[in-house]
Structure 1
C-alpha cells in the first residue's frame, strides 16, 4: 500500500499499488526488518511556545497518534523540519502550514485540514482528462448516474482488482466509472502488453474484467491511446493505482469502498454547491 503523510494524518486515504516494485524492499525483507529493528529512543519534548513545539502540536492536531521523531530548524526560512513516519515535512513556525516535498509538493493548511495545492492540481487534471475522449475509456455506468469518476487502473494491481470486483455496487451507488489505462510496470512491459490487448479487444469491458480475474485475454495489437493515457496519468501526479478522480479533477484517493466513495462524492458536491452559493470573495455580498 502506498501511503503519504496525508494518509497517516487522516486527510487523504490512498490505498493503491505502487507504480513499480522496489527490489531492495522485498516483502520478506521488510517484515524481517520490522520485527528485528529496535524502537528509536523517544526524543525530549521541545520547550512550550517555541517553533519546534508548535510544529509538534500541528502534527498532533492532525492525528494525535502520529508523532514527530525529530524536529529542528529547516533550510527554509520560517519553517521547522520534522521527520514523521520516515518522511521529511516542513511546518511553518506558527504551526499553521505543513509542506510535504515530493508527490506534487503539497502545501497543507493544518487548521482548515485542507490541501491548498489541490485546487491548482485539480484544475490541471480536469484539463488533462479532456484530452482522452470517453470513446477511449472503458466505461461501467448505471442508467442514470449521479456521479462520474475517472479511474486510472492496472490489470495486475491488487487494489485495482478489488475495486473492479465491486464495480456493480459502485454502479448501484449511482457512480459511473470511466477507466483509463496506467500499466504501472511501464511502457513495453508485459503488464503494458496486456493492457494494449484489452484496449484492442472487440469487447473491452469483458476483456478488462477477464484480465483482472487472471483469465486469458487474447494477445492483440492495434492503434490505441494507452500510451497517451499513461502519459496523462504521470502528468496528473499518479503515484499508484487505482487513482480515482472526481469530475472536477479532485483526487479522491486509491481504493475506496462503494458506499464510502458515494459519501465522499456527496460531500464534495455539497461543498461545491455551498461555495457556489456564497459566490466569489467581494462579489454579490459587496455589490449594490
Structure 2
C-alpha cells in the first residue's frame, strides 16, 4: 500500500481502466542502456527539514529517486521534485501533499491518504441515493465483502473483470454493478447500457452484452443517466471503477485474489482502529 500510494498519486500507476491506456508502474520502468536517473548530488545533512522530506518520500517508496529538494513557497513545507513532478513535504516529514489532478494529502505516519478519506465519505453518500433495485448484483450465498463497480459494456477491462465473475464469487466478494457508459449520454454505448437496464433479466443481458458486444434494443424508465452523473461526481476517470463499502476507491480492474486480500486488510485495519477508539473512550 505504501508504494502504491505515492506512485499512484504521481500518476505513474495505471488504474487498469478503459478510459486510460495502461502504463507501467514507475518502479518497473527500465531506463535505456547507459542512462542514469537524475538524483540528488549529495544527501541533505541529517536532521534537516530537507533530509526529513527525502526520508518521508523514501518511506513510501524506497525505489523512487528524489531529484531535488529545497524551500517551498508554502510555509512549513519543503518542495521536492520526484519523477518530474512536485511533492510538498511538511518540515517535520509527516505530511506529503501531491498537487494536481489525482493529487493527495498523505499522512506518512499512519500511511493514510487523507484526501481519499474525505472523498470516500462523499462517495458513500452519493451511492446511497441510487436505489438498491437499480444495481445489477452478482453475489455468493454468504458474501464476506461487497464492492460497487461502475461498468461499461464496451470496456475491455470491464469485460475481463466480468469474465472472471465466478472467481470473485469464490473469494466471497459480491459485486454490485452500476452503469457508466464511458462514451457519454446519447451515445451508442449509452443506448446499450439502457437496453441492459431495461431487460427482463438484467444479469443475463449484462453478461451477454459484455461477451458479444450486442444487446437487444429496449427502452424504459431507467436510472442510467443518474448513475452516469453520480459516477462523474465520485471522481470516475475510467471503467471499471471499484469502490469498497466505505467509499474507498480500489482502482480499476483488480484480480479476484488481490481484491480479496485488499478487502481483508482494510477490514482488519478498521477492526484495529475501532478497538483503539473504544479503548480510548473507556479510559
Shorter-chain TM-score above 0.5: yes
CA contact (8 A) 1:198 1:204 kept: yes
Q: In structure 2, the residue corresponding to 1:17 is in which secondary structure?
A: coil
CA contact (8 A) 1:20 1:184 kept: no
Aligned counterparts of 2:56 and 2:230: Cα–Cα separation in 1: 34
Q: How does 1:86-105 map to 2 (within 5 A)?
A: 86-103=84-101, 105=103
Compared CA separation, residues 88 and 210, structure 1 to 2 (3 A): farther
What residue in structure 2 maps to residue 256 of structure 1? 254
Compared CA separation, residues 42 and 210, structure 1 to 2 (3 A): same
What residue in structure 1 maps to residue 53 of structure 2? 55
Question: How big is the shift at 1:119?
Answer: 2.6
User: Cα deviations across residues 179-199 of structure 1 (Å, max 9, x unaligned)?
Assistant: 011222322333222222222
Aligned counterparts of 2:154 and 2:66: Cα–Cα separation in 1: 35
CA contact (8 A) 1:103 1:237 kept: no
Aligned counterparts of 1:45 and 1:253: Cα–Cα separation in 2: 37
CA contact (8 A) 1:16 1:255 kept: yes
User: Cα deviations across residues 73-121 of structure 1 (Å, max 9, x unaligned)?
Assistant: 3222122233333433221122211112244642101232221233322
What residue in structure 2 maps to residue 130 of structure 1? 128
Q: How does 1:35-74 map to 2 (within 5 A)?
A: 41-49=38-46, 50-74=48-72
Q: Is 2:14 the counterpart of 1:17?
A: no
Aligned counterparts of 1:265 and 1:112: Cα–Cα separation in 2: 18
What residue in structure 1 maps to residue 147 of structure 2? 149
Q: Is 2:199 the counterpart of 1:233?
A: no
What residue in structure 1 maps to residue 275 of structure 2? 277
What residue in structure 2 maps to residue 182 of structure 1? 180
Aligned counterparts of 1:258 and 1:57: Cα–Cα separation in 2: 34
More deviation in 213-222 or 131-140? 213-222
What residue in structure 2 maps to residue 84 of structure 1? 82
CA contact (8 A) 2:67 2:80 kept: yes
Question: How big is the shift at 1:267?
Answer: 1.9
Question: How big is the shift at 1:130?
Answer: 0.7
Question: How big is the shift at 1:263?
Answer: 1.8
Aligned counterparts of 1:41 and 1:13: Cα–Cα separation in 2: 20
Aligned counterparts of 2:118 and 2:38: Cα–Cα separation in 1: 40
Question: How big is the shift at 1:136?
Answer: 0.6
Compared CA separation, residues 262 and 92, structure 1 to 2 (3 A): same
RMSD over aligned Cα atoms: 3.0
Question: How big is the shift at 1:177?
Answer: 0.4
TM-score by length of 2: 0.82
Compared CA separation, residues 107 and 9, structure 1 to 2 (3 A): closer
Aligned counterparts of 1:222 and 1:73: Cα–Cα separation in 2: 59
Question: How big is the shift at 1:35?
Answer: 7.6
